[in-house]
């Protein structure tokens, strides 16, 4: 089955670049993430993925970020098999299939209506799995999600696209709605926002990033407690470094020596 021609905004089309990155990773003899659904989905979507000119290094970093976040999701769900998962700015990510949670768990994928329309053509809903088409910062959608137990909020490649005020209101509302839970998401520091056009995915999609977070403790004011902060060194796992080009290896080595660059892109985990 092929989808109709895709017409996404610049911001939305970044999700096709990251999807393609995971598909390219899956073509490696020993993938980092290993997501066959990403490959199948790329084949089904009528879109010129070549326009992203995605280099193997970029695909590696997309796959590594997804893998690190998946590990946090799995760990939370082992402790809370009855949780509600909110996967915000899910794009075309097949995380729900990678994690494959029990049907008793409730998993919601949330993104703009156009993105959810495309998702529904390739990712069927099933018991315990629903997709919500809404801007995450228009908070009415939250009313559709039961708030009777622990929640896991996951957002990969989302926060930097939100306006800071809307992003903070979203996190505050999420923390207030559920009795307990965790949030795991990646952020850019303000330098990452300033240098956004150096990011090939953002540049080629002509997207704009707005929210930079330098101090992870700053978000604790919203009712969160910081439990983990991963800087760029999470890319330096041996399995990833061995697959990098020499130029990327050098870039990473230099980035790890300079705190400002080391902190440009991080993964944060909070409890609430
Ligand atoms: C870089 S893509 C990441 C997609 C996916 N998480 C992944 O890793 O492949 C950013 C996603 O955030 C979504 N997004 C950005 N702002 C949003 C908002 N206010 N409400 C809902 N989704 C949003 C975009 O539509 C896009 O799907």
Q: Tens digit of pLDDT per residue, the chain (272 long)?
A: 577 788 888 888 899 999 999 999 999 999 999 999 999 999 999 999 998 889 899 999 999 999 999 999 999 999 999 999 999 999 999 999 999 999 889 999 999 999 999 999 999 999 999 999 999 999 999 999 999 999 999 999 999 999 999 999 999 999 999 999 999 999 999 988 888 888 777 787 777 899 999 999 999 999 999 999 999 898 888 888 999 999 999 989 998 998 888 888 899 999 99
CATH number at residue 252: 3.40.50.150
Please check whether residue 4 lies inside any domain of the structure. Answer: no
User: What total of structural domains would you count in the chain?
Assistant: 1
Please check whether residue 197 lies inside any domain of the structure. Answer: yes
How far, in Å, CA of 167 to CA of 137, rounded?
A: 7
Please check whether residue 219 lies inside any domain of the structure. Answer: yes
Q: Which residue in the block uniquely carries the two structure tokens 């070549």?
A: 50
At 83 the three-state DSSP class reads coil
Residues enclosing ligand 1, CB less than 6 A?
A: 11-12, 14-15, 18-19, 89-91, 93, 111-112, 115, 135-137, 156-158, 161-162
Nearest CA to 65 out of 129, 162, 155 is that of 155
- The pLDDT value recorded for residue 1 is 57
Measured in angstroms, how far is the CA atom of residue 47 from the centroid of ligand 1?
18
> Phi, psi (5° rounding) for residue 3?
-80, 170
How far, in Å, CA of 226 to CA of 208, rounded?
A: 27
Please check whether residue 3 lies inside any domain of the structure. Answer: no
Measured in angstroms, how far is the CA atom of residue 256 from the centroid of ligand 1?
27
Report how far apart, in Å, the C-alpha atoms of 110 and of each of 135, 139, 163, 193, 247 are: 8, 12, 17, 24, 36
Pocket test for ligand 1, best of 112, 135, 185 (most atoms within 8 A of CB): 112
Please check whether residue 5 lies inside any domain of the structure. Answer: no
Please check whether residue 252 lies inside any domain of the structure. Answer: yes
The whole domain housing 259 covers: 10-271
Please check whether residue 2 lies inside any domain of the structure. Answer: no
**Dihedral (C-alpha) 98, 5, 20, 158: value to the nearest 10 degrees?**
-70
Determine contact, residues 160/205, Cβ cutoff 8 Å. no
Determine contact, residues 153/245, Cβ cutoff 8 Å. no
* pTM attached to this predicted model: 0.95
- The pLDDT value recorded for residue 80 is 96
Please check whether residue 205 lies inside any domain of the structure. Answer: yes
- The pLDDT value recorded for residue 262 is 85
- The pLDDT value recorded for residue 260 is 81
């Amino acid at each position: 089955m092929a989808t109709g021609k895709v017409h996404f905004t610049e911001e939305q089309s970044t999700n096709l670049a990251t999807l393609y990155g995971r598909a390219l990773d899956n073509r490696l003899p020993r993938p980092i993430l290993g997501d066959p659904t990403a490959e199948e989905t790329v084949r089904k979507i009528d879109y010129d993925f070549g326009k992203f000119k995605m280099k193997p290094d970029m695909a590696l970093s997309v796959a590594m970020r997804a893998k690190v976040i998946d590990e946090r999701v799995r760990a939370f769900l082992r402790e809370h098999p009855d949780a509600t998962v909110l996967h915000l700015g899910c794009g075309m990510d097949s995380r729900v299939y990678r994690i494959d949670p029990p049907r008793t768990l409730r998993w919601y994928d949330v993104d703009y209506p156009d993105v959810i329309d495309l998702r529904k053509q390739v990712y069927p809903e099933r018991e315990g799995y629903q997709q919500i088409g809404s801007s995450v910062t228009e908070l009415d959608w939250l009313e559709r999600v039961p708030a009777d137990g622990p929640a896991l909020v996951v957002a990969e490649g989302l926060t930097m696209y939100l306006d800071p005020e809307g992003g903070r209101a979203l996190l505050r509302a999420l923390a207030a709605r559920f009795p307990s839970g965790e949030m795991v998401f990646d952020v850019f520091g303000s330098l990452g926002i300033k240098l956004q056009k150096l990011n090939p995915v953002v540049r080629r999609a002509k997207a704009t990033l707005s929210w930079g977070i330098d101090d992870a403790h700053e978000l604790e004011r919203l009712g969160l407690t910081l439990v983990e902060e991963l800087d760029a060194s999470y890319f330096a796992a041996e399995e990833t470094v061995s697959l990098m080009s020499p130029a990327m290896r050098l870039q990473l080595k230099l980035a790890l020596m300079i705190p400002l660059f080391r902190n440009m892109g991080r993964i944060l985990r909070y409890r609430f």
